[in-house]
Amino acid sequence: MLQKPILSEGAETALRREMEVNVFGLHRMMTAFAPRIAQAGGGTIVNVLSVVSLFVAPFNATYCCSKHAAMALTDGARIQLRKQGVHVVGVYAGFIDTDMARSVGGPKVSARQVAERTIEAMSGSRDHVFGDTVSENIWQTLRKDSSDFEAAQQHAWDTGATPWGSASS
């Protein structure tokens, strides 16, 4: 996550890097593994997406672009692979307590919780896994009406306020 707004110095470089890892890397992994999983009788591909697959946070918008695209890859592959017995799961979370979020001061969900919820979803054949309440609430909110949420992002950008509520698990 390179913390670049869409129109900022270095944004194109950041966008290319994030797309390379989060989108083309994901695509290469699925292309390599899906036929083997199908051949072996079926299984699950888990793609770790993000809460910012669901909306654009203006401060790290290039990362959000890559995570939106990663969600589209995940949703497309799920449809394509279902009949081959390959279940494709998308995982969403706010901040997870890993190296990547080391510099984040606010609350973070544990990697263990995200993993446990993912395993639970795999056995229940659910397509979307919410690793924390932040992602679950945002998913529900956006499905009802996204206009307030988008206005909050605009407000965050205009005022420098926190783009979404506190990240609790």
Ligand X SMILES: NC(=O)c1ccc[n+]([C@@H]2O[C@H](COP(=O)([O-])OP(=O)(O)OC[C@H]3O[C@@H](n4cnc5c(N)ncnc54)[C@H](OP(=O)(O)O)[C@@H]3O)[C@@H](O)[C@H]2O)c1
The whole-angstrom separation of Cα 128 and Cα 92 is 8
Q: How far is the CB of 25 from ligand X (least distance, A)?
A: 6
Q: Smaller CB distance to ligand X: residue 3 or 158? A: 3
Q: Smaller CB distance to ligand X: residue 29 or 151? A: 29
The number of beta carbons lying within 10 Å of the beta carbon of residue 78 is 18
For residues 87 and 122, is the Cβ–Cβ distance under 8 A?
A: yes
The DSSP 8-state label assigned to residue 128 in this structure reads E
Q: How far is the CB of 138 from ligand X (least distance, A)?
A: 12
Helices 133-144 and 147-159: crossing angle in degrees, nearest 10, is: 120
The whole-angstrom separation of Cα 139 and Cα 126 is 15
Query: CA nearest 88: which of 66, 64, 72, 69?
Result: 72
Q: Smaller CB distance to ligand X: residue 10 or 25? A: 25
Q: Smaller CB distance to ligand X: residue 95 or 130? A: 95
Q: How far is the CB of 144 from ligand X (least distance, A)?
A: 23
Chain contacts with ligand X (rule: CB under 6 A)? 21, 25, 48, 50, 93, 95-96, 98-101
Query: CA nearest 133: which of 117, 119, 149?
Result: 117
Q: How far is the CB of 148 from ligand X (least distance, A)?
A: 23
Q: How far is the CB of 161 from ligand X (least distance, A)?
A: 20
Q: Which residues are paired to 128 by β-bridges?
A: 90
Q: Smaller CB distance to ligand X: residue 11 or 115? A: 115
